[in-house]
Chains A and B, each alone.
Chain A
Amino acid sequence: MAIRVGLLIALLALAIAFPQVFTNPAVTNYGVFAMIFVTAASAWNIFSGNSGYISLGNAVFFGSGAYALGLMAKGWNVQGATVFDLLPLVGLIGAGIAVIFGLIALHVRRHTFIVITIAVFFIFQLMAFNFSFTGGSSGLNSPFLTWQPVPYNQNFYYIALGFAAVTVAVAALVRRSRFGLQLRAIRDDEDRASGLGVKTMRVKLTALVITGSITAMIGGVWFYYINQVQPQTGFDPLWDLQIVLMAFLGGYGSVSGPVLGALIIEPGSLWLNTQPQFSGGYLSEILLGLIFLFVVLVMPRGIIPTGGEWIKRLRTRGRPAVVPAAVTEKVGVAVAAVGGTPPLQPPAKDGGQ
């Protein structure tokens, strides 16, 4: 435990020091995007990772957050950095959308739920294209912030880092709480959970609201960072897929998994896009697909759980690390009675996801 806390503090210190060490805006740019995606992937994981309801429509919150902040800043003529005071309001809007989204989509499960999230996503993209106040296909531009290039990226880095840290903390709290337990009970067997007294709809909706408000706020930050949003960038089907891939690559359902996945994929894909031989987009698309196939087929549980297993296997050299309690007891008694060494157990099957 103490080691874990120390490690976390060290990681946070590293993250805080990062833009001080690498002051080049081109490098901090990677950091900003990485933090935005750490936030988005962790937020996705709070609802989808815990409840098992895979959402392919989180860009609904992301894009809505971007548009909401842009419209508010334009409508109320907000100048300069005070615009970030509006972020809680954006979060509220995200929460409101999540409630409506959830009341519609959470009645159905499995495949149907996923398809409904895609359908809602396309409705939102279409609205962004067709309404006049969203600026149609040319989208919205943000008022310029009067920051110089060097602190510009740094400031955004710290804002995004703050969101990432809070989101990971929320994810950890959810995971340890009774609420998180209820969510995972829904993932394992929703009917039984409901039979045992879990108010399934309320629990799912609460989780979706948390996810929706965080995603909307980080969408607002993203919009101000890149100064513009168009329907196809704010509501981007590939964006949806990317955060899901991040969560799966790192370890779907765990707290650290989406963070690791985002830290690997986002800087990687940003870097690929700067390489001339990858320009045009199709190669990075093929690559994204290939990584996806690799993850799902070779380590379907993600880096963190699978890696943990490999380390455990290495440390115990093939012997089971933990002998199930019931077995130990019996064997222990038997061994004590006979006075011999315990026989080898079959490898313990991990009961986790």
Chain B
Amino acid sequence: MGRELYQAIADGILVGGVYALMAVGLTLIFGVLDIINIAQGVLVILGAYLSYSIYGHLHIDMFVGLAITIPVMFIIGVVIHWAFIRRLRGTERTSMTLLVTYAVALIIEGILYKIYGANQVQINEPSINGTNASIHVLGFYLGYIYIYGFILAIVLVAAIYLLLYRTKFGRSVRAIMQDETAARLIGIEVNRVAAVTFGIGVAVTAAGGIAFGATNAFNANSGYDLISRLLAIIILGGLGSVGGALAASIFMITLESVVSIWQPTWAIAVFYAALILVLLFRPEGLFGKKAVRAQ
């Protein structure tokens, strides 16, 4: 029993790292643009399909393929922002942006169905996610893909962190998070920063897509499951808080992984129940919005 538990915790932390990466993108977009990108889930699936095609047809190593998929996803993000998000203003903006990103998700999902069909696929590279591709550390069996995914997530989250806290661009991003009007007044080009942030938030789904697509069989429909988890994570961590998103994804995925030892079918319900419980006592989430400013 104890062994199983530790194994579940180890798995949870590794998978949680990958979710953290996707959630950071989502929460960054929220912090700067004050919108929730419902399309994030299906964009991860799009990223997974991109890697699947690149690996399957061009036989490029899937992690090297990131050099193609990350810029592609970045451009897709900027285009979505430019075409739809930028145009929404006014009092109903919150609900409108949600609906627009939901609509974008539907369209992408439909296109993916058209191209790839409804059959589930998985990115398969036996040396990375085959049955024997695991490492035996301290009594745990850890799949290479989980370890690579975790490392990739750490590297990218660290890069985002450096970008936010060590560059001029990051300073403008944080300024907009604090007060958009004031940021505009001191000469920050809010629209451009917002577009780039949206692009970055979407670009991380390329990496998330690889990790997801190599560990799960997926089809165009898998985005719903992902986005509902990601939403729960960023709400729990406190909307707009990067640190909160990191902590919440590790916590939630580990919780789910541990619960699924006993109750595999109900694990996801525990996941949402945790969210609801936390919100009953702390409506602003665990870390609130202040955590971003305090860092």
Contacts and interface: CB of A to CB of B under 8 A. Distances in A.
Interface of A: 52, 54, 56, 104, 107-108, 110-112, 114-116, 118-120, 122-123, 126-127, 129-130, 237, 241, 244-245, 248, 252, 280-283, 285-286, 288-290, 292-293, 296-297, 300, 353
A129 B95 CA distance: 30
Given A116-B279, A120-B272, 17 more contacts: A54-B95, A107-B280, A111-B30, A111-B239, A112-B239, A114-B95, A237-B224, A285-B110, A286-B107, A289-B104, A289-B105, A293-B103, A297-B100, A300-B90, A300-B92, A300-B96, A353-B91
A123 B92 contact: no
A127 B269 contact: yes
Contact of A126 (B99, B113, B268): B268
Contacts of B105: 289
A247 to B, nearest CB: 11
Contacts of B275: 116, 119
A248 B99 contact: yes
A56 B104 CA distance: 16
Nearest to A297: B87
Nearest to A104: B276
Contacts of B273: 123
A112 B92 CA distance: 15
Choose among A241, A252, A353 the residue with the greatest number of B CB atoms under 10 Å from its CB: A241
Contacts of A285: 106-107, 109-110, 113
Interface in B37-70: none
Choose among B107, B220, B266, B280 the residue with the greatest number of A CB atoms under 10 Å from its CB: B107
Given A107-B283, A115-B36, A115-B231, A289 B110 contact: yes
A108 B106 CA distance: 27
B131 interface: no
Given A104-B280, A111-B30, A116-B276, A282 B90 contact: no
B279 A296 contact: no
A56 B103 CA distance: 13
Contacts of A122: 228, 268, 272
A242 B110 CA distance: 16
B102 A292 contact: yes
8 contacts: A107-B279, A116-B276, A116-B279, A119-B232, A286-B106, A290-B103, A290-B107, A293-B103
Contacts of A119: 228, 231-232, 272, 275-276
A296 B103 contact: yes
Nearest to B228: A122
Nearest to A280: B113
B94 A111 contact: yes
B276 A293 contact: no
Nearest to A110: B94
Contacts of B268: 122, 126
B98 interface: yes
A59 to B, nearest CB: 13
Contacts of B104: 289, 293
A114 B98 contact: yes
Given A54-B95, A111-B30, A297-B84, A286 B279 contact: no
B279 A292 contact: no
A107 to B, nearest CB: 5
B113 A282 contact: yes
A241 B102 CA distance: 8
Contacts of B265: 126, 129-130
Contact of A292 (B91, B99, B220): B99
A266 B103 CA distance: 17
A250 B231 CA distance: 29
Nearest to B111: A286
B278 to A, nearest CB: 11
Nearest to A285: B110
A293 to B, nearest CB: 5
B88 interface: yes
Nearest to A295: B99
B38 to A, nearest CB: 9
A111 B276 contact: no
A108 B110 contact: no
A273 to B, nearest CB: 14
Interface in B231-284: 231-232, 235, 239, 265-266, 268-269, 272-273, 275-276, 279-280, 283
B114 interface: yes
Contacts of A104: 276, 279-280
Contacts of A115: 36, 231-232, 235
